Chain A
Amino acid sequence: MLNQLSISELTAKLAKREVSAREATQACLNQIQAHDGELHAFLSHDVSDALAQAEAADQALAAGTRHEQQPLLGVPIAIKDVIAVKGQPLTCGSRILGNFNSPYDATVTTKLRAAGAVLVGRCNTDEFAMGSSTENSAFGRSCNPWDTTRVPGGSSGGSAVAVAAQMIPGALGSDTGGSIRQPAAFCGCVGLKPTYGRVSRFGLVAYASSLDQIGTFTRSTRDAAVLLHAIAGHDAQDSTSVPQGVPDYAAALDGDLKGLKIGLAKEYLLGGLDAEVKRAVETAVQQLTRLGAEVVEVSLPHTEYAVATYYIIATAEASANLARFDGIRYGARVSGADPIELYANTRGVGFGPEVKRRIILGTYVLSSGYYDAYYLRGQKVRTLIRQDFLKAFQTVDAIVTPTTPSVAFKAGEKSGDPLQMYLQDIYTISCNLAGIPGISIPCGFSANPKLPIGLQFLGKPFGEATLLQVAHAYEQATPWHRERPAQV
């Protein structure tokens, strides 16, 4: 089954011409055809466009192009539907964009094309990446392939499902407060959120500009390294991307953790953490020790303020970022007697309840008289949270935590209680506030039902190589990432 190959396995076969890109792409399309009706990982995919790209890749392979030149040549990749792909629909999981097609490619899209990837389709997401379950998608939720009555996490739930359900070997997502790592944990795949500024945001529809970062979903750490390498780097079109060289992440992977110090954040193991998840993380920590790492306790004292800080800063930025969806230049429009009525009608119909809630929250915290008490204070706390991490990283190379407080929850279970939903991100949110990289990898399963548990590593700014090295070493010593959902 070609769709079950990892990126590394597939490129090895493509290079030897054992399989063609067209066959691999067709296998993925078949899997989508077979399961996406039930799982709803994709919002749109263009079969003929994907096959045309695959054929072009086969021609390049036939002409002698090698994967040293184009590392993803012939590899099918899916993209979260908040990232622009020229000529394809861009919905952000929202009705407000109507039948909008992007007139341009995001920088990551351009980079994937340059690396030879076959862009297959666009994955489901909570509306404008606001949510932790994909239940906020205007086009219906995605289902967790391990138990379809449960959510796959969010907001990049579609990407996680596509990878976990063997529809695609790799996918891009975006992570503003955990939107890659949490669904990766819920679906049992590898989810990497790079350092803020590592990957260009040009073409990523902004939710919270100072927190958003594009990252990867894969079935192995090695694949994460390959995919990150393809999309990372400075971009003149993104002033917040950092002009720093991109290391060969895959080349740096080895099984040894000797000499590495890993911090166990004590604030992350307190109340609210599910017992099975806690046990899996503790077992993983012992494994890390056996692999040669020294595990020490570290403190991140401002952790308890992270969720509140996040919902001030993220919603403030979102309230401005989403102002452009007004029905004037593109997207859906509901007319009105004057512009104000047109805006109200368009946005009233076009946005879902969670998006409206966050726009209103963000508008409030920026309002005259409240700015200092909320936004300004939020920024100050954010600095303290970053300092917590930088201080911890003076003594440790990485920090290990659970990715989520529990395994995947039932659809509908938390959708009536926004606060419970927001607390889903309690272990992932600080990473975005601090601007540091984080990765979630499988570290076990709950007993009944059998659902994946995620282990999170957090690293120094631009310390992706170390994170991948630690995750890879753990992965090599454990069987979890090889497990697949029974139904697919």
Chain B
Amino acid sequence: MELPDYAEKFLKQLRQGLGSLTPQEREEIVAELRIHLLDRQAQGKTDLLSGFEPPEDLAATFVSERALRGALGQGTPWALSRALLISARDSIVTLLLFLPLALLQISAFVLLLAAVLKPFMPKQMGLWVGNGSFYVGASDGNPAVREILGWWGVPVLGISGIFVFWIANRAMQALARRRLRRAKSTVV
């Protein structure tokens, strides 16, 4: 039995929305929904999609939940950031909470990079202060600023980087858990 064109279009759009899942997961979801629609059609239902959200929204529910669960399992900043960005598509609050955490992660990366490069570029890398400036990283050549940590920069920047990274990662995990709980309670 064939589905009407509008139902096929729905399944096609759903498949597109599930693009970030593995082909096996994607095809299994689409196959299951196709059979659901075929069964309804066999029962004589005319408007087959009346009980369904738009395909993009339905796909986003699958993708967002899986991404969040996978990211919490992995715990890496990349996986967490990706999952939270997917989840933020339908939540401005998540986006607003995510952005400062992403900035913290970038700051942690800069601190760690500065600590790693310090032994190789001792005169150019460090914590720079003076003339109203205060920054970590490579010198901008301004003679009014001076590096204040010296060789202490390696442990200080390194430990600070690890600490900021840890804080940001914990906060991202908490945000991902919060989104997952919310996703669970919005099904119906």
Tell me if chain B binds chain A.
Answer: no
Q: State the A residues within 8 Å of B (CB).
A: none
